[in-house]
Amino acid sequence: MAVTAPRIFLSAGEPSGDQHGAAVVSALLAQFPGAEIDAFGGARIAAAGARVRFPMERYTVLGFVEVLGKIPAHLRLLRTLEAEFRSGRYDLLIVIDYPGFHVRLAEAARRHGVKVLYYIAPQLWAWHPGRARRLAGAVDRLAVVLPFEAEFFAGHGMLAEYVGHPLLDRPPLPTRAAARAELGIADGARVLGLFPGSRTQEVARLWTPFRGAAQRLKDEGRCDAVIVAGTAEGKYPGGEGCLIHRGAPGTVFAAADAALAKSGTTTLEAALADLPMVVAYRVNPLTSWLARRLITVPWISLVNLVAGRGVVDEVLQHDVTPETLAARVAPLLDAGDPRTLAQREGLKLVRERLGGGGAAQRVAGVAAELLG
């Protein structure tokens, strides 16, 4: 019998999950106007219409030592929610990303007969394929956001559906002319965009080689302007020759001719903007040593993984130098260079494989199937 006024618990756990969760809450309430939706989340989920019983600000911190200090709070939350699953308070649990806590929460829900939908699944295909068995025992359905993930999880016995990437539902970028007018950049200028990341450690490791590569290209006359997609609190020493844009990064994507980008979702954003790029990443040497022994995929950038081939150059670890980065990105500043044209064909393939928007609505549809 279909549940017409379901009782749903939605768990986000961190800021990105709060953003994605808000869209899911809106879609659920459109499908089930009488639904009771409680949440472990933040202000965006609350604004969308859920009752945030457990504000994520009390649990989410940065830094290894700080995270250790929050483990007791997470364990108390896990025990509280398991007791409520046992009592039959909820019909469905939806968890978003945040795998360290959410796999355990999903296991607790299933122990007591509560259906579980996992949205933005753990990237087991990259690091821990052996843990797929545990995930399979913890969830009823997966709503995945990368096209190749559906096949991977299906191969490990899970019902997985590609729902589209949340990036596809963001507002459209400004036009190139509007973005350049906002930034005060001439129409014909050759513009390099720098995307060193938002986390302090990312910026600390990438800013200096990114800045050095940009200066080298300017000195050689290969580009006329450099724009940095900065954060409100980010520090960019020695960046006097660059324009630090601390607003929406979409303006930088729209205005640039080519980019140096850190690995991660940024690369998909650049692909959606049809912005040629070189991808770079540096981590602690010990982390890199471990990663080389654990990673099970041939590339680190999501663009290459979605395309299934090497569309963009990846520059890693000790190779991340101003000289190497400048040499790799220089051809991409020329729209007519064969390497630029070839990469744009690859970026077009990525956009085609990602498909259209509507991820949150599809998640709500999967939830409806589980409830009904």
For the chain, 372 residues long, give each residue's pLDDT as a single digit of tens.
455 789 999 999 888 899 999 999 999 999 999 999 999 999 999 999 999 999 988 766 444 444 455 678 889 999 999 999 999 999 999 999 998 899 999 999 999 999 999 999 988 876 766 788 899 999 999 999 999 999 999 999 999 999 999 999 999 999 999 999 999 999 999 999 999 998 888 899 999 999 999 999 999 999 999 999 999 989 999 998 999 999 999 999 999 999 999 998 999 999 999 999 999 988 766 665 655 655 666 788 999 999 999 999 999 989 999 999 999 999 999 999 999 999 999 999 999 999 999 999 999 999 999 998
The SS3 assignment for 226 reads strand
Write down the pTM of the prediction: 0.88
CA-to-CA distance for 183 and 193, rounded, in angstroms?
12
Residues of the chain with CATH 3.40.50.2000: 7-164+357-371, 176-354
- Candidates 3.10.20.30, 2.40.340.10, 3.40.50.2000, 1.10.10.60; correct CATH number of 7-164+357-371? 3.40.50.2000
The CATH T-level fold of domain 176-354 is Rossmann fold (3.40.50)
Closest CA to 371 of 52, 136, 138, 117: 117
CA-to-CA distance for 44 and 81, rounded, in angstroms?
21
CA-to-CA distance for 314 and 261, rounded, in angstroms?
10
For residue 56, CA distances in Å to 59, 84, 100, 148 come to: 5, 19, 15, 30
